[in-house]
Amino acid sequence: MRKLFALMMSCIIVFSVGCSSNAGGDQAAPNGTANEPVSGGIVRTTMPSEPDNLDPYLSAASDTDAVMNNVFEGLMRFDENGEILPQLATSYTISDDSLTYTFDIRTDVTFHNGDPMTIEDVLYSYKTLAGLNGMEILSSKFKLVKAIEKVDEDTLTFTLSEPSSAFLSTLVEPVVPADYMQQSSSPVGTGPFTFKSYVPGQKIVLDRNDTYYDTNRMAKIDQIEFRIMTDENSILMALKSGDLDIAQVLSMSVPALEKDFNITSFPQNMVQIFALNLDKKPFDDVRVRQAINYAIDKDLIIEGVVGGYGTKLYTNASPVMSFWYNDLSQNEPYPYNVEKAKALLAEAGYKDGFETTIKVPSNYQTHVDTAQVLADMLSKVGITLNIELIEWGQWLETVYTGGNYDTTLVGLSGKLEPHEVFLRYESTYPKNFYHLRSPEYDAILEQAITETDAPKRAALYKQAQQFLADEAVAVYIMDPHLILASKPNLKGYTPYPAPYFDATKLFYVGE
Amino acid sequence: MSFYLKKLLSLVITLFLISIVTFGVFQILPGDPAAIILGPDADPLQLEALRQSMNQDAPLLTRYTDWLGNALTGDLGESFRFHMPVSDLLLSRIPVTTSLALITLIFTLLIGLPLGLFIASHKGPLGKVISALSQLGIAIPSFWMGILLVLLFAVTLGLLPSSGYVAFADNPIGWLKSLLLPGLSIALGTCAVLIRYLKTAMLDELPKQYVQTARGKGLSEKMVVRKHIFKNALIPTVTILGMLVIDILGGSIITENVFNIPGLGNLIITAINSRDLPLIQALVLYLGTIVVVFNFIVDMLYSVIDPRIRVKGDN
């Protein structure tokens, strides 16, 4: 019997080693001369969660967007600076009353299923989103669209019920083939990549669209694979063994990777917020909120929690959105100052501090670590911060939707459209979990949404940022950077201020 | 015959009870599945549409009886998270976890049985070393073992993939390679358990009289161990093996996550995190069935191994 075991054992070992010629470190890149771009190749990267829905109209998760923006396109698109440009439209005009938008569409576009994109598809797509097809409205961003009408075979108009400076950016929503009902299982768009497969729990695979109409955005690689991976150790191992070509990693993995990989990092237009519930005492007192702001050393958090991979913030905006970002770094509203914090607390009647609780979503290690540092910093001004870890689903329900908390810590992803960011503080916004109710702030936003002059509008959003800083509505800590490790011969990764892993710009160079 | 009927009836009752408990627990658990799936950036209209598609507004009892009625006709409903029939999801995941269980079981037996036999009959220093190592095998968590194995076989030697799964139908060699490391990382723990059980069971048999008799007949020590002691030590061994198999077939949540294997363990995490009730219900039923069925198989094996058990049962 023992001989039999030994035999089987050695069989397995020989078999597995013998067949290992193409295991692990297989080369995805095509060969070529050193440092010269070569076309083709497969890129394998990761995505951190299962897609919520492949149908773009039913999906809202940013991880899904980052992948599927390679497949779908709208009349407009955003570029790496967050600027809104025509994509499926060739040009557009806006009427003097800012209520009618007229678009000319491209006529050389085909869907991935081979059908040409016609004006009927565009009409169908946006009418579906706006609920003008006799169905329920799908996106509240389209609520102000009163009518969508065909002018001729390549022109259409949108009529709005009131002027909105945010309208153009809503047309980033994609155009899909009319009456095509299988988007959830086999998505069809017009983009530079076609959908190949989705294996739940494993990966999404996209192929280059060889008949893509826009030569400027034609993909260079043949295929991109997004592997659904959540475990940081697994990602690290997969990179090291050559099973991944490029991947987002945590700062703690950088030392293990920097020898063999190119490490790049970018602010990702996210705001890490230490939110204080304005409905609860003592956070209704602006002096208490300011004291807490003074008591927190953001530089130390950035250094200690994310290894320096973060951009310090002063208000609810990341410098990535340069056009409307209010740069307060020269005149920092609340530089770290324990004495000032204590003085303000004493003034507010909390000379001996107080005790409060922070609810932290337990699945985000960065926030959990930050909370520990916060507790330590606040203890120096007499505030006892009890950390309560809660599960993400519970956080969404009790804190985000229910607004039931004392303080919390979360990272909210920024938007291309400033209105969508600052809307979160409006009195009437259902998920205003900060509980800011300020007529002054609401008036600024009201003015901004109807202002069509871009610089004036930007000035208003800068005013909104100043307001949030002055009122110390929350502690805006940092924009945690997106850290990427890529093989040295894979180039061209381009960060965007919105969820988009742009696979068109990636290319390999010969080694 | 009535024996089998009884077993079947107990299976049905068990499944019914766990389905009620799971359903009940999910009503208490905070968290809105639609909000979790769509995330904080969800449009209120999208949220509303998704909630409606989940039919969450109906009264509790109606929802349960609807689910039960459908389940009895074989329709397990549609997953909230994956927007596809739950039965399709299970059918795509069960082969993955079963494959992993098979590889793990082979490793466990290949390593565990000979080593267990060896340390039971060899009291020398080597036996002590193996015994100590098996203690270590139990103590090391399988995910950590997995990371170590990946470091050696995937990163340093480049022989095996670090993660992922290849279906048998696509590429049988790739299938085996994708399962060797996760299988081994679980097996090193389970075979350590097996070694210790086997050793204890065999040492329990040693002082018994039939062993003396066998030796007295002039049988070689090898024959005594193999034909007599081992056979009698099999009963507790099969019990523990049954439990190990149930454990592996239920999907090893952490190992599947570390190796990115799309099996049931991986699915269980996603289902719980996104409050995917139809999927959870089906998974729990599957797990319950596995437990009951395997306990039944183990019971059957007893009577194969030791005919006396069968005789007792017949009386």
In chain B, the domains with their CATH numbers are 86-276 (1.10.3720.10)
- CB spacing of B30 vs A398 below 8 angstroms: yes
pLDDT in the model for residue A18: 40
Which residue in B has a C-alpha nearest to residue A11's C-alpha?
Answer: B110
Q: Which of A17, A141, A202 sits opposite B262 (nearest CB)?
A: A202
Q: How far apart are CA B193 and CA B204, in angstroms?
A: 17
- Min Cα separation A255/chain B (Å): 16
Determine the 3-state secondary structure of B80 from DSSP: coil
**In this structure, what token pair is assigned to residue B311?**
């005789």
Q: Are A243 and A229 in contact (CB under 8 A)?
A: no
- CB spacing of A229 vs B260 below 8 angstroms: yes
pLDDT in the model for residue A228: 92
According to DSSP, the residues that pair with A145 across neighbouring strands are A160
- Min Cα separation A499/chain B (Å): 12
Shortest CA distance to A308 belongs to which of A148, A481, A457, A461?
A481
pLDDT in the model for residue B300: 82
Give which of B41, B56, B156 to mutate to test A binding, by max A Cβ within 10 Å: B41
Amino acid identity, position B60: L
Q: Are B105 and B245 in contact (CB under 8 A)?
A: yes
Peptide bond into A455 cis (omega under 30): no
Interface TM-score (ipTM) > 0.85: no
Q: How many CA atoms lie within 13 A of B37 on its CB side?
A: 27
- CB spacing of A25 vs B158 below 8 angstroms: yes
- CB spacing of A24 vs B31 below 8 angstroms: no
Q: Which of B83, B177, B258 sits opposite A234 (nearest CB)?
A: B258
Residue A327 backbone dihedrals phi, psi, to 5 degrees:
-80, 105
- Min Cα separation B88/chain A (Å): 11
Q: Are A334 and A476 in contact (CB under 8 A)?
A: no
Query: What's the gap between Cα B312 and its chain centre?
Result: 30
What's the rounded mean pLDDT across residues B190-201? 87
According to DSSP, the residues that pair with A276 across neighbouring strands are A407
pLDDT in the model for residue B310: 61
Inter-chain contacts counted by CB atoms under 8 A, chains A and B:
172
- CB spacing of A238 vs B162 below 8 angstroms: yes
pLDDT in the model for residue A34: 72
pLDDT in the model for residue B232: 81
Shortest CA distance to B54 belongs to which of B39, B42, B40, B37?
B37
- Min Cα separation A203/chain B (Å): 9
Which helix (DSSP H) or strand (DSSP E) does residue B303 occupy? helix B277-305
Count of beta carbons in the 10 Å neighbourhood of residue B201: 21
Q: How many CA atoms lie within 13 A of A256 on its CB side?
A: 16
**In this structure, what token pair is assigned to residue A177?**
């083939």
Determine the 3-state secondary structure of A386 from DSSP: strand
Residues of chain A with pLDDT below 50 are 1-26
Count of beta carbons in the 10 Å neighbourhood of residue A319: 15
Residue A157 backbone dihedrals phi, psi, to 5 degrees:
-125, 145
Shortest CA distance to B240 belongs to which of B74, B52, B113?
B113
Which residue in B has a C-alpha nearest to residue A57's C-alpha?
Answer: B46
Which residue in A has a C-alpha nearest to residue B268's C-alpha?
Answer: A201
Residues of B in contact with A138 (CB under 8 A): 43, 45-46, 49
Q: Which of A231, A234, A393 sits opposite B31 (nearest CB)?
A: A393
Average pLDDT, rounded, for chain B: 84
Give which of B163, B226, B230 to mutate to test A binding, by max A Cβ within 10 Å: B163
> In A204-310, which residue ranges form alpha helices assigned H by DSSP?
232-240, 254-257, 286-295, 298-306
Amino acid identity, position B92: S
Shortest CA distance to A28 belongs to which of A259, A241, A253?
A241
Q: Are A35 and A217 in contact (CB under 8 A)?
A: no
- Min Cα separation B10/chain A (Å): 34
pLDDT in the model for residue B251: 64
Q: Are A502 and A226 in contact (CB under 8 A)?
A: no
Residues of B in contact with A15 (CB under 8 A): 176
Residue B109 has pLDDT above 80, yes or no: yes
Q: What are the strands of the beta sheet with A37-38, ordered from one edge?
A: A37-38, A507-509, A490-491
For B286-309, the pLDDT digits (tens) are: 888 888 888 888 888 887 887 776
Residue B311 has pLDDT above 60, yes or no: no
Q: At what angle do helices B230-249 and B277-305 cross, to 10 degrees?
A: 170
- CB spacing of B262 vs A199 below 8 angstroms: yes
Q: Which residue, chain included where needed, has tokens 């909210």?
A: A412
Q: How far is CA A494 from CA A89, A266, B86, in A?
A: 23, 10, 38
Give which of A14, A20, A205, A235 to mutate to test B binding, by max B Cβ within 10 Å: A20
Which helix (DSSP H) or strand (DSSP E) does residue A266 occupy? strand A262-266
Residues of A in contact with B165 (CB under 8 A): 202
Q: How far apart are CA B137 and CA B185, in angstroms?
A: 10
For B54-80, the pLDDT digits (tens) are: 777 778 888 888 888 888 888 888 888
Q: How far apart are CA A179 and CA A194, in angstroms?
A: 19
Amino acid identity, position B9: L
Question: Residue A480: which residues within 8 A CB-CB, separation 6 or more?
Answer: A268, A270, A272, A306, A309, A310, A366, A411
